Amino acid sequence: MKKVPFVTKEQIEEIVKTYPTPFHLYDEKGLRENAKRLYEAFSWNPGYKEYFAVKATPNPFLMSILKEYGCGSDCSSEAELLLSEAVGITGHDIMFSSNDTPLNEFALCEKLGGIINLDDITHIEAVEKSVGYLPKTMSCRFNPGGYFKMSNGIMDNPGDSKYGMTEEQIIEAFRIMKSKGVENFGIHAFLASNTVTNEYYPMLAKVLFELAVRLKEKTGAHITFINLSGGIGIPYTPDQEPNDIMVIGEGVHKVYDEVLVPAGMGDVSLCTELGRFMTGPYDGLITKAIHEKHTYKEYIGVDACAANLMRPAIYGAYHHITVLGKENEPCDHTYDVTGSLCENCDKFAVDRKLPKIDKGDYLFIHDAGAHGHSMGYNYNGKLRSAELLLKEDGSVQLIRRAETLHDYFATFDCFEIGETLNKLIAEK
């Protein structure tokens, strides 16, 4: 499958007259169409709710777009809870799936009316301590242990994950919570990351649906929702076939009818917590080639670095690169595409076949919309880039300004050195 940017060289040349590279550029049309498809795929379940994983792309403008289609927020921190409140996402439209949680964050979630999804049985006491009581609706995160494997060989190792409880712990947790006044229960699990197969969600659903039946039988708990969490991935490489969300939705529907309906649980609502699937493909990191180097390898230096997209540096992750304006030229040059950090891992591509790149060319780094800008950092004093939204009408909206040196030095503002730094910036 050929990866095609959602923007042209001519559009970028116009955008950079106002916003210099590097920047993240999001595709509003793609975001909206994807949200529509997701809700259509699960329309057979009347209570279905997508809790967008805020950690993937914590931008209130994007969250507001997804909110228009019924999406809530999957939060794991105080900042994410406050972002949700700021865009009008409150109440049971918030799912708080945290771990090693400070007590004040449980209290904030309850104040906003969100659903607390417990990572561990010991957190029951923590919620009581922070809130003063247990809310009427609560959820628990399940970890089945061992390995989780699919027929295509994709697998993960839940047993090595820090998240979730054993089945015995969930049974005990449900009994404790029920005795303390909890009336509505949910269960949640995340067993594999970034799966590019239509098989994963139905398999996960079967695990959770069968667990729900056992929990009902052993505890008498009223299970009102089951959260399939995330794990639906995107095809980062051109040779991967993308997931078909319609096929996935129907696969979950089949298992729902096979397991839950016969158990008298046909009223259970389903939830998802998708991040990568919701925003990943609908953002490109736009960067400019500014240097070239010819030593033992051929290097192209760009004005972005791992501070703008760190997945390749920390995971060795593949992100496809298109040289804008040269989409139809032969990929007959081999480059390492590098940033300016003082780290050898600061590379967007290694030994990548690309068209001849000249200084001044614009590169579109694909699939940067999840865990891209959000994982940015300031090593070497690098400043995080702007985020822009390509509107459906072709116009561009600034949805986060680029950081400045004033931002970088702001935490020194209570010291004399802060005044010195501000003077130096002014003189620069």
- DSSP SS3 for 238: coil
Q: What is the pLDDT of residue 156?
A: 64
319-358 pLDDT, tens per residue? 999 999 999 999 999 999 999 999 999 999 999 999 999 9
Q: Which residues of 284-303 are buried (b: 16+ CB within 10 A; e: fewer)?
A: bbbbbbeeeeeeeeeebbbb
The arithmetic mean of pLDDT across residues 386-391, rounded, is 98
pLDDT reading at 20 higher than 80: yes
Distance CA 64, CA 75 (A): 15
CATH of 27-280, one of 3.20.20.10, 3.30.300.20, 3.40.50.1000, 3.40.50.170: 3.20.20.10
**For residue 278, which of 22, 43, 55 has the smallest C-alpha distance?**
55
Give the rounded percent of residues in the chain with a pLDDT score beyond 90: 88
The arithmetic mean of pLDDT across residues 124-142, rounded, is 96
**For residue 273, which of 415, 94, 14, 134 has the smallest C-alpha distance?**
94
CB 177 within 8 A of CB 138: yes
272-317 pLDDT, tens per residue? 999 999 999 999 999 999 999 999 999 999 999 999 999 999 999 9
Q: What are phi and psi of 13, to 5 degrees?
A: -60, -30
What single-letter amino acid sits at 264? G
* CA Rg value for the chain: 23
Helices (H), 103-166: 103-112, 123-131
Q: What is the pLDDT of residue 163?
A: 83
Q: List beta partners, residue 85.
A: none
What single-letter amino acid sits at 123? H
Superfamily (CATH H level) for 281-411: Lyase, Ornithine Decarboxylase; Chain A, domain 1 (2.40.37.10)
pLDDT reading at 191 higher than 90: no
Q: List beta partners, residue 73.
A: 52, 94
Q: What is the pLDDT of residue 11?
A: 98
Q: What is the pLDDT of residue 150?
A: 63
Instruction: Give the predicted TM-score (pTM) of the model.
Output: 0.95
Distance CA 279, CA 23 (A): 16
91-109 pLDDT, tens per residue? 999 999 988 899 999 999 9
Distance CA 93, CA 74 (A): 9
Question: Where does the pLDDT of residue 90 fall: very low under 50, low under 70, confident under 90, or very high at 90 and above?
Answer: very high
Distance CA 221, CA 375 (A): 39
Distance CA 51, CA 73 (A): 4
What single-letter amino acid sits at 20? P
The domain segmentation of the chain, as residue ranges, is 27-280, 281-411
Q: What is the pLDDT of residue 239?
A: 94
Q: What is the pLDDT of residue 154?
A: 56
Report DSSP state, residue 160: G
